[in-house]
Structure 1
Amino acid sequence: MRLAVQERLLPGRTLQERFGFAVEAGFDAVELRGEGDLRFAGRRAELRRALADGVVMPVVAADLPHLVGDPDPGGREEAVRQLCSQLEVIGELGGLGVTTPVSRSRPPRPPGHDREALARALGTLGEHAARHGVLIMLEPLNRYEDHLVNTLAQAVDLCSMDSVRVAGNTFHMNIEEDDPCRSLAEAAPCLAHMRIGESNHHQPGTGHLDWAAQLGTLSAIGYEGHLALDCDLRGDPEAVLPRTSAFVRKFL
């Protein structure tokens, strides 16, 4: 397993500077942020320069106003358009793919309505991801943030294509999974990426998660992807990030 860190957490003006800091702090890669309005595609020149300079950027974490499980057809179509663009760009960079939540919390709707629409959207995204040699990875969020997909098992149920996979998140798992280690083991065939943060959404080591057990489970199931730090930092990044990478590496 390798360590990555979300680019928004890193000091520096350029990706090259941020990656340089990340490496010095004990990380191996930068997880990119994929904003809406096709802004990620607008970064193509910047990303290509960074790649040429050796910046390791395996995954894009989508940060979009609309998601693939949006009950509004227009919002859903916009999410698919944005994600298709991000899949194309990360494919050009030789990356793994794009992670995305499925929906936002909202008042209950007729049973099955949103899931049917979600399945259609994922079919489109899965085909697009396959064409570009990358993955679309579904990230379950807790019940207060997502009304459709809260557990790894629910995300696995949506993996009807080889190009649709799962991204776990330890913060959300702490809220939703009865047994996080068992859930990781059961999701193993579809688990392509992991995002890490504490039970309190701060950096690992500040809460009550059993890192030895969860990271040990990932090792036992043969997970070889990245552990991408994405949380609120308690303290200055210059001090916090080196301590955090050292803390996590104790369990790898």
Structure 2
Amino acid sequence: MTTDTKTNQIGVHALVWAGDTSPSSLASAIEKTKATGFDLLEISLHDSANLDVVAARDALRKADLGVACSRGLAFDADVSSDDPSVVERGEKLLHDSLAVTGALGGTHFTGALYSALGKYDHPLTTAGRRNVVSVLRGLAQEAQRKVMTLGLEICNRYETNVINTARDALVLADDIGEDNVLIHLDTYHMNIEEDDLVRPVHEVGDRLGYVHVGENHRGYLGSGHLDFTSFFHALADIGYAGPITFESFSSAVVMRGLSNDLAIWRNLWSDGEDLARHAHAFITEHLHTSRSR
């Protein structure tokens, strides 16, 4: 089975355009996403307090763009904690974020939904994992009622202690036990934690629900050492037809909290529009090549 460019929405992360989700920043991000040829805009909900949901939804519809939302949690609102009050704050954040995603018109809510986004100084505890499973099962059931899916984004060891590999994510999804909990692969994290960029795609198979494409240094696609040819061929092998979103960060565009959490200390690019046009062409060409084998 092969991948068809007509069925994969090609997305771009809003942090390519702006460091916050204020009305003016999001209006600009939507306009630039459309102008550079993308089908979907991914919005991080770390700044959701500043998000005008109704205005953003209307602008997305007017531009005929899809939307996906993502987030991680904070250490004082971490569903993998042993502290019930901390877990409760994290659970509320997740349900609030799911509601925002749906109100924007999105059906994909993804990210590090299972923990804080940052370096832990200890392994995940048995009680903490039990809390993750319980909270995400309830969130998935709520998402099911809204006809939405959850994505478990697999992040590297420096950003979470819950799931670092495709195998970890599949076990967690099995334990949650809801069909709308899908796996989210990210080439940047895979480069750190996996043996290659092919086996995890095949292992996840039809449970793959969302993809982030990013270089090993999170700069221009093709300027690093990642084997994107093999990765896109693997997507074609499993017939993946879901969103493929370009994710890149630079100190040129800063959302303070998230940029610090992700250790965005250097300026990998300064022209988001040039970066995005290049990424769209790069992804489109790789999809075409993988389909034409």
| Shared fold per TM-score greater than 0.5 | yes
2:12 corresponding residue in structure 1: 5
Q: Give the deviation of 1:55 after TM superposition.
A: 4.3
2:94 corresponding residue in structure 1: 83
Q: Deviations over 1:19-48 (max 9, x none)?
A: 332233232211111126x627x5322223
Matches within 5 A, 1:231-250: 231-233=248-250, 234-235=268-269, 236-250=271-285
Structure 2: unaligned runs, 5 residues or longer: 1-7, 251-267, 288-293
Matches within 5 A, 1:21-100: 21-35=32-46, 39=49, 43-65=52-74, 66-100=77-111
Answer with 7-16 or 80-89: which moved more: 7-16
Structure 1: unaligned runs, 5 residues or longer: none
CA 1:70/1:203 → structure 2, altered by over 3 Å: closer, same or farther? farther
Q: Give the deviation of 1:241 after TM superposition.
A: 1.6
Contact 1:91–1:132, Cα closer than 8 Å, also in 2: yes
2:192 corresponding residue in structure 1: 175
Aligned equivalents of 1:136 and 1:68: distance in 2? 15
1:197 and 2:206 correspond: no
Contact 1:15–1:50, Cα closer than 8 Å, also in 2: no
1:218 and 2:215 correspond: no
CA 1:110/1:133 → structure 2, altered by over 3 Å: closer, same or farther? closer
Q: Give the deviation of 1:111 after TM superposition.
A: 4.5
Contact 2:197–2:227, Cα closer than 8 Å, also in 1: no
Contact 1:91–1:133, Cα closer than 8 Å, also in 2: no
The one-letter code of the counterpart of 2:62 is D
1:229 and 2:264 correspond: no
Matches within 5 A, 1:10-21: 10=17, 13-21=24-32
1:121 corresponding residue in structure 2: 135
Contact 2:120–2:158, Cα closer than 8 Å, also in 1: no
Among 151, 162, 165, the residue aligned to 1:148: 162
Q: Deviations over 1:128-156 (max 9, x none)?
A: 11121111211111111111110112111
Count matched residues: 250
Moved over 4 A (4+): none
Secondary structure of the equivalent of 2:156? coil
CA RMSD in angstroms comes to 2.2
Q: Give the deviation of 1:189 after TM superposition.
A: 2.4
Contact 1:16–1:53, Cα closer than 8 Å, also in 2: no
TM-score by length of 2: 0.78
1:162 corresponding residue in structure 2: 179
Structure ranking higher on relative contact order (CA contacts 8 Å, 6+ apart) = 2
CA 1:49/1:58 → structure 2, altered by over 3 Å: closer, same or farther? closer
Secondary structure of the equivalent of 1:59? strand
Answer with 80-89 or 7-16: which moved more: 7-16
Q: Give the deviation of 1:74 after TM superposition.
A: 2.3
The one-letter code of the counterpart of 1:218 is L
TM-score by length of 1: 0.89
Contact 2:79–2:128, Cα closer than 8 Å, also in 1: no
Aligned equivalents of 2:9 and 2:124: distance in 1? 42
